[in-house]
Homo-oligomer: A and B are copies of this chain.
Amino acid sequence: MTWRFFWPFRERYMTAKELSEVLTEQLYYIYTQGGYMALKKKPVTGMKDILPAEMEIRNYVMSMIRSTYGTFGYQCIETPCVEHIENLSSKQGGENEKLIFKILKRGEKLKLDEASSEADLVDSGLRYDLTVPLSRFFSANSGELPVPFKALQMGNVWRADRPQRGRFRQFMQCDIDILGEPGYTAEIDLVLATTTLLDRLDFKGFSIRINDRRILKAMAAYSGFPEESWDQVFIILDKMDKIGLDGVRTELLEMGFSEDSVRTYLDIFEKVTPDIAGVQTCRELLRDVLDETVAAELETIIRVVEETRSADFRMVFDPTLVRGMSYYTGPIFEISMDEFGGSVGGGGRYDEMIGRFTGASTSAVGFSIGFERIVMLLLERGYKVPQTGARKAYLLEKNLSPDKLTEVFAQAAAERAQGVTVSICAMKKNKKFQKDQLTAEGYTEFVEVFNR
């Protein structure tokens, strides 16, 4: 047996959690070196096991998604979880590209001796979103797909983010996208489909915030910010929720932008109301720097959604809405929910991304809902999925005769055919405890079976 030293305090302070991880690692090392067979029981850092109670809610939400989006004509597709490292590192993914779980080359392709950097070791990685794979999917399979193509994707994605409460390194994303439709009816369709879904999942009083990347750019141009600085300006603007108008002013001035520009810029946000009138104000103000169809289309999107909706939500024109990803080219949207205190989904138009794969540009617009957040909110509410049919359990005495067993299993089969959930299990010594457990799982009827 060899010994190895752990030096846990190499960096500043350690949190209790970090310390516990180091200690666990030490114990594990000692055990395994000592020949003890114990393996690691916990899931890998930042990922989680999902128990039946949560799975029931997840399955329910997934089936609601499939059926609701289905009635809007969206069709399910799937891409592999593993994607070419070149596609994942194509600069389409912004910050997420730093968080890729990379997969080692295999067999003779792995040349450890010759490798001088990480890039020499890997040829693929786990997808960090569903948009990059969708673009690849569409360019590879467009010959077999209708145009426009309305896609529904539900699948796991992975990001090696710093683990924190409620954020995991593997999580489910759920996206709808319309590919090959340049007109704004696509945006209306996505917003109505998403809000109908949220309504069916019993979410009320949320807001759909909407803006347009072209309005965002026009506002920056109108205020006289130099074009190469717009991304910086938008990063600061994006903090409006948290730091307010004064905070944004301070940060912009600190960045060295001219007082004139900053004043002109912030004046817009004071003038613009969060509704159709606000869009009209923008159209007026920005008429020299913005194609007037942009504001007209945004107005139509808001108007048609407001007049059509049956669900209980508000359409909010929010000129401060940025959405991080630089690939957006037109309207952008986000769902805000007071209950959650943040975004539970969003999307927008990204007309140029698919062209990066095909060379031929294809219009595209998508809306992603925060599946994990929705599940979390339902769990916190104590939501119970409506149970279908009765639940009955047979508890069998040990060593039942084959005849008795046949009788029980045959009866259970007949009951299942009637829609009853029937579980057959051996009778435990502590019958009361066993029945309590089964009751907690929703069983209401118990039959004890004995040989005599």
Q: Which residues of A contact B (CB under 8 A)?
A: 28, 32, 36-44, 47-52, 55-56, 58-59, 63, 66, 70-73, 75-84, 86-87, 90, 101-104, 106-107, 110, 112, 115, 117-118, 121-124, 126, 136-137, 139-141, 144-148, 150, 156, 158, 160, 169-170, 181, 183, 185, 188-189, 192, 196, 300, 303-304, 307-308, 310, 356-359, 389, 391, 393, 396, 398, 400, 402, 405-406, 409-410, 413, 416-417, 419-426, 428, 437-438, 440-441
Closest to A420 in B: B71
Does the CB pair B49–A303 fall under 8 Å? no
* A44-B124 in contact given A81-B156, A192-B413 (Cβ < 8 Å): yes
> Can you list 26 A-B contacts (CB < 8 A)?
A37-B90, A37-B359, A38-B356, A39-B84, A39-B90, A43-B140, A44-B123, A49-B78, A50-B77, A52-B76, A55-B76, A59-B76, A70-B421, A75-B441, A81-B156, A82-B170, A104-B118, A148-B425, A181-B426, A188-B409, A303-B402, A304-B402, A304-B405, A304-B409, A307-B410, A310-B417
Contact partners of A87 in chain B: CB under 8 A:
39-40
Q: Are B49 and A140 in contact (CB under 8 A)?
A: yes
Decide: A39 and B356 in contact? CB cutoff 8 A: yes
Are B402 and A81 closer than 8 Å at their CB atoms? no
Query: Given A40-B86, A148-B425, A50 and B78 touching (CB < 8 A)?
Result: yes
Query: In the assembled complex, which residues on chain B have CB atoms less than 8 Å from the CB atom of A357?
Result: 38-39, 41
Output the least CB separation between A355 and chain B (Å).
Answer: 8
**Among A66, A356, A409, A441, which residue has the most Cβ atoms of chain B within 10 A?**
A409
The answer to whether A84 and B413 touch across the interface, beta carbons within 8 angstroms, is no
